[in-house]
């Protein structure tokens, strides 16, 4: 498998924080939020959450479905893990579709999100499934998550939680394991506002994928008010940016128009230079094979070579005229994989720049 630095001819400058920026590292020793089972009784004062532990949590969110949120979480997490970073992907969608991208449809670990519910409600550890890919861990979502939405709207229930809210408990559980990872990605549901609010309470960064159709823009505009409300309990939450999906690479005017329309969100939201192209065949092949885009691209390249070898052998008379050619895979897989690689790089660049700025500011104030 190609490394992230050379994949499909894409020049990668993905920073590994410790090696490239030795002064900008994760906090080595963080105080873990201990959490407390509701069986221990009501706390008079809500417990606090280690905000710094969540500094590399990214919530991928849009109020509209079908904008590639899940595909972005899977493929960006996969590319970063392939580069050597430790990554966690958490499925907070009741559809539970993130498992499809990782090829975990028949996994015995699939609990349809029950483990997340138990972690939030009873203070147990998140049920992390190790090594969905090398360096990449995973938490299953699914229909059971609907319970958390109902509980979050029941004041008498959330009053007994140590942090006083469902979102606070989600943040506390992530903080407990955050030191194990360089990045954590949350795949947020499009139509469940309660679960979106829970994710925003537990994240530092908000990444918004969007197509350029009116429905997708309506979904994007709906994120702004939720982020504003989330800042009451999570003042550190920030926009990482908007990425255009299902994009035609030749349509440069779309990117320019998107920058103009972002003013409608009501505050500065940067636009990623990277985009995710429209490639229905590649997307279908990824899901049906349980592969990430760069894995599919590697297989497509290999199969292309085998098909050419078969045809060349037949022309030389070394094969019978009736042969079974290896199945062809999407020719656009390499381009799609390159899109996810560029997005992964840009995400790391932006997070790194923010950490550097914070370090410089802290040094100047000291």
Q: Could you give the maximum distance between any two Cα atoms of the chain, in Å?
A: 84
pLDDT of residue 360: 63
pLDDT of residue 217: 81
> Residue 276: is its pLDDT beyond 90?
yes
The class level of CATH for 7-290+339-365 reads alpha beta
Contacts of 100 (CB under 8 A, 6+ apart): 287, 290
49 vs 259, more confident: 49
Q: Let me know if 323 is exposed, middle or buried by CB neighbors in 10 A (0-12, 13-18, 19+).
A: exposed
318 vs 54, more confident: 54
**Interval 301-330: pLDDT, tens:** 777 555 555 556 666 666 555 555 446 677
pLDDT of residue 214: 83
pLDDT of residue 263: 67
Domain-by-domain residue ranges, the chain? 7-290+339-365
301 vs 43, more confident: 301
pLDDT of residue 39: 36
pLDDT of residue 49: 76
Q: What letter would DSSP give residue 116? A: H
d(CA 307, CA 290): 22
Residue 161: phi, psi to the nearest 5? Answer: -80, 145
Per the prediction, the chain carries an average pLDDT of 82
pLDDT of residue 364: 62
pLDDT of residue 79: 97
pLDDT of residue 315: 64
* Closest by CA position to 114, among listed 90, 140, 144: 144
> Residue 45: is its pLDDT beyond 70?
no
Overall average pLDDT of the 242-251 stretch: 80
**Interval 138-195: pLDDT, tens:** 999 999 999 998 888 888 888 889 999 999 999 999 999 999 999 999 999 998 999 9
Identify the band that residue 258 occupies on the pLDDT scale cut at 50, 70 and 90: confident
d(CA 48, CA 33): 7
């Amino acid at each position: 498998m190609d490394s992230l630095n050379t994949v499909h001819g894409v020049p990668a400058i993905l920073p590994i924080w410790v090696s490239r920026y030795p002064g900008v590292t994760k906090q080595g020793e963080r105080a873990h939020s201990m959490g407390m089972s509701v069986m221990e009784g009501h706390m008079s004062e809500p417990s606090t959450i280690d905000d710094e532990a969540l500094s590399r949590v990214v919530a991928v969110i849009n109020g509209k479905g079908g904008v590639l949120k899940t595909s972005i979480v899977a493929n960006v997490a996969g590319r970063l893990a392939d580069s050597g970073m430790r990554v966690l992907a958490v499925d907070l969608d009741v559809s539970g579709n993130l498992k499809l991208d990782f090829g975990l449809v028949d996994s015995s670990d699939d609990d349809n999100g029950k483990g997340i519910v138990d972690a939030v409600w009873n203070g147990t550890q998140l049920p992390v499934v190790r090594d969905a890919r090398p360096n990449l861990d995973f938490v299953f979502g699914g229909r059971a998550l609907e319970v958390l939405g109902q509980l979050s709207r029941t004041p008498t229930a959330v009053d007994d939680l140590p942090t006083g809210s469902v979102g606070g408990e989600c943040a506390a559980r992530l903080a407990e394991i955050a030191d194990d990872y360089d990045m954590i990605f949350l795949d947020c549901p499009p139509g469940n506002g309660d679960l979106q609010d829970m994710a925003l309470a537990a994240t530092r960064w908000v990444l918004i994928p969007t197509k350029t159709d009116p429905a997708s823009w309506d979904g994007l505009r709906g994120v702004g008010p939720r982020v504003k409300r989330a800042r009451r309990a999570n003042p550190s939450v920030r926009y990482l940016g908007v990425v255009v999906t299902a994009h035609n690479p030749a349509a440069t005017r779309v990117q320019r128009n998107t920058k103009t329309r972002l003013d409608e969100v009501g505050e500065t939201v940067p636009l990623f230079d990277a985009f995710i192209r429209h490639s229905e065949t590649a997307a279908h092949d990824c899901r049906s094979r349980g592969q990430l885009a760069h894995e599919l691209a590697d297989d497509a390249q290999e199969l292309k070579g085998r098909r050419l070898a078969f045809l060349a052998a037949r022309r030389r008379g070394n094969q019978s005229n009736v042969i079974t050619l290896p199945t062809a895979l999407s020719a656009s897989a390499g381009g799609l994989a390159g899109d996810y690689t560029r997005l992964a790089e840009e995400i790391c660049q932006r997070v790194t720049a923010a950490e550097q700025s914070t370090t410089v500011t802290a040094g100047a104030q000291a």
